[in-house]
Structure 1
């Protein structure tokens, strides 16, 4: 707890005041990650392993201070490392590898080891894989002393943007945002056909606006939604798959997307808000698909919703917890007003702290008019932040903390804030470790030029068939995703395939979003399917069955990226609003048919020939080749007309009988 609180305090201090050089912040950030990782895992083991874990953690933190203590000297001797520099660098690299092995498993360290060996010995590889020779000192210098290795873009984003937004989500979760989202979802769709599954889709989608971690989303909202779905007749595997699908979509749901979105913004040098805007329509289509599939599944099995009397009122929930939405609304406004993610995250987090700490204080004020004046004063103080700096917010927070020590419920609120700070540090741990380790891959790619070689191969293939290049890129994302998280998956694949797809005429943002989407879909795709693994113990079903079912539910996640490549207007890249409306119409029709084909139900049951016909029509609408749209719309109308007539005839026959 103490280490996690110190980690959060350091990140808030550096975010608010920027007192240290960026390289120092990155290095200390990695030091805290190593300390927290080894000590947390050590506490779960026997005595000797605990001692070793604490030794590794304290050693890693001490080495993380190296760039702070010797910052000026390291700059002066840049490119000419001393023996001490190399020894410290090797130790830090080994500790990052070991922390990743303990926390994330063997897959990512093995992949990174292969890249490191390639950097050291790639000169002996056969052509065209070989590169010019690099000695040991050059490789260590690249990985440890520069900004292309461990302390590269990924760890910069982790130490600046990602931590703040994870902390922001942790505060809102602790303050009751999960309850608010669940109540809104239950009150709006809980009583409809297949209501429990629709509640899962909506609540997980709403959670995605504050929590960019799909697996964390599964284990939080899934504790409520999966048992609810099972109680109302959904198969365990389907219940787990719905939650896994909806939770993974949180990483593409603006305004607060997953960590990859911030890394992407830095990588391709575009404002974060442009990525959020580009992701909006695909995210809506993704969740719309999940909603549509659960509706069809409910129709196929005759599943009803909850009794209206058991559903909470969405309006009552909003009246009760409306204040929790204010920090999220402010964050959205700041991001879309052009402020940096760091500034927006700092303000959003500060407002969250003010709202959480101010709630018990306002309840202690007896008169309603005085309570209104209290919140107006808090709002004016927050508004003064931009003019008078962090001091105003800090003063307000200190005053509210002191007030919470004496008012009813205040001490519990202080404990909530403490736990939220600790949760934020713990939730940031796997993200940060992955960002640090994957820096070795980026360092190897930039040092050896290997990315250019692979990109050239993809370009050569794409000159004859763009579709084949896209399929190869998709396959690479899915295969890598079986063993590594979304962040390193995106960094590796985008470094190789992103520039190649851009050279083939795919807009840069669209090419990176293509890689991003399939990195997410890898967590739903068997055989590993991390989101399915997280849902498995809650649902009481095999994670393989959950994974295959989730793949069927999340069909939009596989279809929409291809549509965006052929029609970039889907991500608001080029074209006008009419072009966007047209491609959205195509996507909706395609998704509707895909849902019917996968479930086997539309207005009524579908036999296999009908399902194949619907799938063919949907596929034609995805492609943007000559005549495919016309054929797709024609076959869609033909199929829907036939299905409506057959379903109506069957219903009439039953009534006559």
Structure 2
């Protein structure tokens, strides 16, 4: 927490050697503590992460209590680590008046927290309920008033980057008060039965309202405004339903029923938090253990040694490295920052224009989110929502990932050929022999996959992989001892804040969809469209999935789209796995879809290219991703739904199709430039081969052969 990420490269006898590519990127509003402040914040982060590992493996808690504590811990850690705005340039001390104002806003929250303690004693003493006036005037109003004052103060006053912010400490008290009330009443009364009904207690309303405000504020700090704005639109929708037209109309809900409902397992504590509190945080801690053993550096160096010699070498490296890093990285933009700081400057050095260098990295990093076995944590959420075994989802993702990365690879390769780019020289690259000697660093990933397919639970497999990462480190110069273990847990706890906040915020949206029934009405709309054209219904679902995913991290984008779009696709008769993969793909590639393309914008920040031009170019490079989901529908064998022969044929023809599509889009096919007419022929052949039937495959092969023969004839003809 006290040092900047040192992503970049080092020179070793003139060779490009990756250093620190898997270090945690430091956000602009991230506090960097020193001394006793670092000990407090780092210690809490380490305890928070270790508590999850212990609870998940040794001493399970009651489900709601575990999820509430999970969210509460993330709020506390988030307000410790992330400021409400950028830091002041001058290093002036925090004014005494600021501490006084923060103290005044803390008083009502402290009073509310004391009241929670008294409520607990009353309930333990046999009381069946707490009087409404106590819940409102002695808990609810003070807690809400203090929270609103602290939020306002945190926006108006800024503390230095290496100091605690007074008002953020008050927000931590508010998180304790809100969560403590819910936990106390979870044990003492029938909170589950009353939440979301007219019989919900007043205190439940206030505790949930404070919790929602804190989640929205933390999400704004760690993930930007996009998800917060969408969540607020959905919250508003819950109240204005009676005045809306058509299928959007609903009966509307009062404040007490809405907020008590939203903080249940139908909303914030629902599928998204269920996944973030188990699988996601466990794999974030696993990623932290991999960082401690420098496996991320090895992944990138291995990719350089393997692919750096090919034409456009750094771009090929970006593809391989981003695919590997995507297994342990939960966001497209984070993947860009992790590997792009090294690959983008090298791409520019060999001749790629800035927009192309950034676009290649953005497209490759986005592909990392569909890379099994982890798929940027999306596979875990899909398993939670659908009930389909995780291993089945991971297997089904193999061919789609191959198709996507094959498309990006050949897009890059053909552009490099067209521009006459070279590969990197042997003396510029890590030594392959040295990389092969360290191939044992892949063991944690191999053990993870093996454990999953041997029938171990995801939690147990992740824990075994974590232990394997520690053992593997003992064979390297980065041997993990007690300090390294502490550092790994501290990094894991810190890195988990963003994804937990995002999942909790997405839970608000999911709760609104469940409460209002808008998902079912959207399904009816899809069914009506399908009566005219099933393809039209799928296209509409594609646009909605991309729109809902714009500006959001992968997990939130998929969770929201899965709640709105996937049920309608299932009602069309599409298999649940196919429907959810369809939605998942488009939610993921919203990161490279203009006009809001987070991964492309992150890459443009590194390359110096125009953000919009970079996003358009990355959209072009990742074009196959917009076709692959339709391939699932027309050819389920691509998700391993068919005989071995059908799966092999689908893999071969679809791969050939994306290669032809890449040649048609780039206007270059292996060794020669292709004229516009032949480009159209390549694209036509690609579409025939992608469709999946025997007849269309044969037509596609015939067209492709004709185009290639014509191209060779033109190339050999005398000028």
**CA offsets per residue over residues 11-70 of structure 1, 9 Å max, x none?**
222222233211111111111221222222238545434222221133214433444333
Q: Is the 8 A contact 2:519 2:567 kept in 1?
A: no
Q: CA RMSD in A?
A: 2.2
Alignment of 1:22-171 (within 5 A): 22-42=63-83, 45=87, 47=94, 48-49=157-158, 50-75=165-190, 78-79=193-194, 80-144=199-263, 146-171=264-289
CA distance in 2 between counterparts of 1:159 and 1:439 reads 13
Alignment of 1:192-271 (within 5 A): 192-271=310-389
Q: Is the 8 A contact 1:507 1:568 kept in 2?
A: no
Q: Is the 8 A contact 1:240 1:538 kept in 2?
A: yes
Match of 1:517 among 585, 597, 606: 585
Q: SS at 1:70's partner residue?
A: helix
Q: Is the 8 A contact 2:368 2:376 kept in 1?
A: yes
CA distance in 1 between counterparts of 2:299 and 2:232 reads 43
Q: CA deviation at 1:337?
A: 1.5
CA distance in 2 between counterparts of 1:58 and 1:133 reads 32
Alignment of 1:437-448 (within 5 A): 437-448=505-516
Q: Structure 2: any 5+ residue segments left out of the alignment? A: 1-41, 89-93, 95-156, 159-164
Match of 2:652 among 574, 585, 602: 585
| 1:203/1:133 CA distance change after superposition, 3 Å | closer
Match of 2:454 among 337, 360, 368: 337
Greater shift, 416-425 or 197-206, is seen at 416-425
Q: Structure 1: any 5+ residue segments left out of the alignment? A: 364-408
**CA offsets per residue over residues 111-164 of structure 1, 9 Å max, x none?**
2222222223323433443334533322122111x2101111100100010011
Greater shift, 53-62 or 214-223, is seen at 53-62
Match of 2:661 among 571, 594, 612: 594
Identify the residue that residue 368 of structure 1 maps to in structure 2.
none
Match of 2:299 among 181, 186, 189: 181
Greater shift, 541-550 or 414-423, is seen at 414-423
Q: SS at 1:78's partner residue?
A: helix
Q: Is the 8 A contact 1:150 1:439 kept in 2?
A: yes
Greater shift, 474-483 or 57-66, is seen at 57-66
Q: CA deviation at 1:630?
A: 4.3
Q: Is the 8 A contact 2:48 2:493 kept in 1?
A: yes
Alignment of 1:444-459 (within 5 A): 444-459=512-527
Q: CA deviation at 1:268?
A: 0.4
Identify the residue that residue 370 of structure 1 maps to in structure 2.
none
Q: SS at 1:420's partner residue?
A: helix
Q: Is the 8 A contact 1:556 1:591 kept in 2?
A: yes
Identify the residue that residue 433 of structure 1 maps to in structure 2.
501
| 1:539/1:22 CA distance change after superposition, 3 Å | same
Q: SS at 1:523's partner residue?
A: helix
Q: SS at 1:258's partner residue?
A: helix
Q: CA deviation at 1:582?
A: 2.0
Q: Is the 8 A contact 2:186 2:192 kept in 1?
A: no
Give the alignment's TM-score, normalised by structure 1: 0.86
Alignment of 1:367-406 (within 5 A): none
Q: CA deviation at 1:264?
A: 0.6
CA distance in 2 between counterparts of 1:174 and 1:61 reads 32
Q: Is the 8 A contact 1:246 1:287 kept in 2?
A: yes
Match of 1:493 among 561, 571, 596: 561
1:21 aligns with 2:62: yes
CA distance in 2 between counterparts of 1:241 and 1:202 reads 15
CA distance in 2 between counterparts of 1:22 and 1:612 reads 56
Identify the residue that residue 324 of structure 1 maps to in structure 2.
441
CA distance in 1 between counterparts of 2:459 and 2:595 reads 37
Greater shift, 223-232 or 158-167, is seen at 223-232
Give the alignment's TM-score, normalised by structure 2: 0.79
CA distance in 2 between counterparts of 1:245 and 1:81 reads 48
Higher relative helix content: 1
Q: CA deviation at 1:76?
A: 6.1
| 1:77/1:545 CA distance change after superposition, 3 Å | closer
**CA offsets per residue over residues 405-434 of structure 1, 9 Å max, x none?**
xxxx76x85444433323322332221111
| 1:537/1:485 CA distance change after superposition, 3 Å | same
CA distance in 2 between counterparts of 1:517 and 1:223 reads 26
